Every structure is written in structure tokens, then in C-alpha cells.
Structure 1
Amino acid sequence: MSEANPPSNDGQRFDRLPETAADREVPGRPTREEVLAWWDERFGVDRSILEPYTFLEKGAGKVWIYRGEATDPCRIEALGMTFLRTRQEHWKPTTRAVSRFGRHASRNVIELEPAEAARFVAGEDQPIDRWDGDWGYLIAAHELAGGREPIGVGLYLHGELRSRVPKGSRTDVGQLDRAE
């Protein structure tokens, strides 16, 4: 390919993320190293948790994760699960990724009380002024069965937690802690 016509994304094809920036051929495509570093820096998810997985991009900035090897590139509809959106101002983890890997997070996790958690999974935004961590995308969690479980992705700005639970995944659970 010529410099004037660099490779680009094909929205119908999965392409493996390059290992490092030096390996990048498609401008703007995230690298495996950047993805691992982001999950470590943003959420404290140790790189060893994500090491066994392959990262692929389909379309502009839609990163998928797959445990195993796949032909590169491959033209199929889906492979693994959507994991991260990268071609926007701030990278955003998917709800599915947070559900799967959020329990390994040690940073930027906001623990919600039962009523707050119920509002969050219903897709409601709510004021929460006790958070003193970073603004931006957070992992929302709630205590279930004696442990902290991730329940979704929230966006925290100006004292408000905005639910990013997809419309199709929202639910009205009332109070999550029915024992009280």
C-alpha cells in the first residue's frame, strides 16, 4: 500500500490488534499493549487476567475479545464478545466486559447501596456525591451473596452517576437487598 492510501478498517471483518504501536498499520487502531495498559491503569485489572485472550477490531474502534486463536483477518458476524470502544474521546468498556472482568478491578469501582443499585440497573442517572475517585467511566458494583459483583458501566461527572446499562439489559428489580 502506498503512503497516500494506508490500510483502513473493514467493518465486515475482524482484524487482530497489533502488539505495539510499531506494528500498527491501520491509523488509529489501538494496540494490544494499549488495551492491556488501559485496563491496568484505569481499573487495576492485572495484565495476567487478560493475557490468554486475543483482541480484534471490527469496524472503527469496536474491540472484541476472544479466548483462543482465530484466522486473521476473518469475515464472520461475531467472535467472542464486544469488549471496548476506543475511537471516541474516552475509551469505554462494554457492560459485558465489566460483567466478566470487573470483579478483578481494584480501582475506579463505585460500590452502590441497594436502592442506588436498583436505580442504576433500571438505567436511571442519580446524584452521588460521596465518590472521591476519578471522573469518567467507572465500574458500578453491588454486594451480592457476600461479595462485590460488577453490575455495569457508569459515567461519573459533576457529582452524578450516569447509568450506561444498555436499554435491552435494563431491569426493574426494586430493592436488591430484600433481606432488610
Structure 2
Amino acid sequence: MADGNTSHRFERLPANADERAVEGRATRAAVLDYWEERFGVPRDVLAPYTFWEKGAGKIWIAASDVPDGLAVESLGMTFLRTRQEHWKPTTNAAQRFGRHATRNVIDLTREAAEAFVAGEDQDLAWDGDWGYLIAAHDVAAGAAETRGTTGEASDEGSARREPLGVGLYLHGELRSMIPKGRRREF
């Protein structure tokens, strides 16, 4: 079994541990299990995607199947950090797939959501699991024009849960993991 990663090349995640060539590398099965067990995201939501590692523990997701060994700078979007004690989803992943989550989603009030996207840590009550959570807020669909799957504008007038990003909940405190360059104040 190989022991290293190539930091400048994307390498497809093995389907399972039996196919693993690099010790410590996450597998496709483990990634799907993590999202299903931690956040309740059904496996079929992520099934159409391919998963890649570039460097040690930086997992990328792509919507198409790309040949192995292709020299590219970027592939899809960053999705998950592994090779640490607790796996951490990226903000992009939470925003893209968090609407499918049924577990470990903390629903924030407007004020708490504004503080969260500004990068502020907050004392909040939460009776769920500690660790990485998806922070979400109900957004009125009528507040902004939305486009459905047909591409037509709609104004349903009802609220929809919008994932904001990843938070770390420990000891009664929600720590915003919104990257500094993406923080916003309202």
C-alpha cells in the first residue's frame, strides 16, 4: 500500500477499503456514509458525483466522471476535509447539499443568521450532537425572485430553509466556520 499523496494531482477515491492504494485515504463509501449518518443526506443525492483527493485529506466533488491522471488545476468544488479527527464539510458543500440534510442542522433566527454569516461566534442552546453542524435559516421565497427547475421565476410566498454554511458547536457555543473572505455583515 502506498503511503503518500501527490499534492498537485487529483486522485479518485477508491470505492471501498479493499481498493484503497494510499493508507489513510477516505473511500467513496466512507464519504457517502458520513453524509448519511451525520446529516441524514440520502446516498442517492450524492451517488451521481465522483470524489477526488488532492493533497492529504482535501476531498473534491465533481458532477462528471473525469479520466484518472488528467492534469488539471481544479475539479468540481472542495467538499470535505478528512485526515483529521473529525471530518469537516466545506461551506460550499453545506450550501449546495445542506438542503437535503435532516440531522445536525441548527436553525437560526434572523439575528443569529446575520451574526453567523458575519463570522461571529454565539452562545446558543442546542440539544443535538456536538461537532460540525449545518447552520440554516428560513428565507421567505417571496423576498427574492427564485427560479425552479424549469428556469421560470416563481414567487411561492412561503419560507424555505436555506443552508448558510458549517458551524462547530461545542459547550453551548456555535462557532462560525464561514471563511473570512465570504463573511458578510447586514
Q: How does the TM-score come out when normalised to structure 1?
A: 0.92
| Partner in structure 2 of residue 133 of structure 1 | 128
1:149 aligns with 2:162: yes
5 Å matches for 1:40-59?
40-59=36-55
CA contact (8 A) 1:128 1:159 kept: yes
Query: What is the RMSD of the two structures over their aligned residues, measured on CA atoms?
Result: 0.8
Mapped to 2, the partners of 1:112 and 1:7 lie a distance apart of 42
| Partner in structure 2 of residue 159 of structure 1 | 172
| Partner in structure 2 of residue 123 of structure 1 | 119
**In the TM superposition, what is the alpha-carbon distance from 1:75 to its structure 2 partner?**
2.3
Mapped to 2, the partners of 1:43 and 1:102 lie a distance apart of 8
- Counting matched residue pairs gives 168
Q: Give me the identity figure in percent.
A: 63
Q: Which amino acid aligns with 1:144?
A: V
Residues 89-123 of structure 1: CA deviation (Å, up to 9, x unaligned): 10000000000000000000000001100000000
| Partner in structure 1 of residue 101 of structure 2 | 105
Stretches of 4+ moved more than 6 A in 1?
none
Secondary structure of the structure 2 residue equivalent to 1:82: strand
Q: Which amino acid aligns with 1:64?
A: W
The answer for unaligned runs of 5 or more in structure 2 is 141-158
Mapped to 1, the partners of 2:49 and 2:165 lie a distance apart of 21
The answer for unaligned runs of 5 or more in structure 1 is 174-180
Q: How does the TM-score come out when normalised to structure 2?
A: 0.89
| Partner in structure 2 of residue 169 of structure 1 | 182
Residues 59-112 of structure 1: CA deviation (Å, up to 9, x unaligned): 000000001111112221101000000011100000000000000000000000
